[in-house]
Amino acid sequence: MLGMRLIGSKKKLTNQQAYTSQIIEEYMGFFYSNVGVPMYRSWNAQFGKILKKHASMLGIKELKKAQRIKDARGHSTQCSLWSLDAKSQNRSTHDG
């Protein structure tokens, strides 16, 4: 169920690349900034780990990690940059 929801969110993003924070915002409908929260307790960081673990199934590919950006609220954060149009053959091994 989570995988299908993530794939649906991916389809709504119009760019071929997105940062983890942008994927979270599309998935959740908002972005919660975890200012001052250690990475091991951050929901956002855990979401990023899920993306990384299931990237092949989701048809995404991590292009760059540990990228410093400003989140939707203007706070400095660190996240990965993802390719959202990874080859469909990446998904085919997980279908069925």
Q: For the segment 58-89, what is each residue's pLDDT rounded down to a tens digit?
A: 889 999 999 999 988 888 989 999 998 865 43
- Residue 96 pLDDT: 37
96 alpha carbon, distance to own chain's centre: 24
- Residue 49 pLDDT: 95
Per CATH, the number for 2-92 is 1.10.10
Q: Cβ(20)–Cβ(47) under 8 Å?
A: yes
Length of the chain: 96
Q: For the segment 6-51, what is each residue's pLDDT rounded down to a tens digit?
A: 666 666 666 789 899 988 988 888 888 888 888 889 999 999 999 9
20 C-beta neighbours (distance < 10 Å), count: 25
- Residue 9 pLDDT: 61
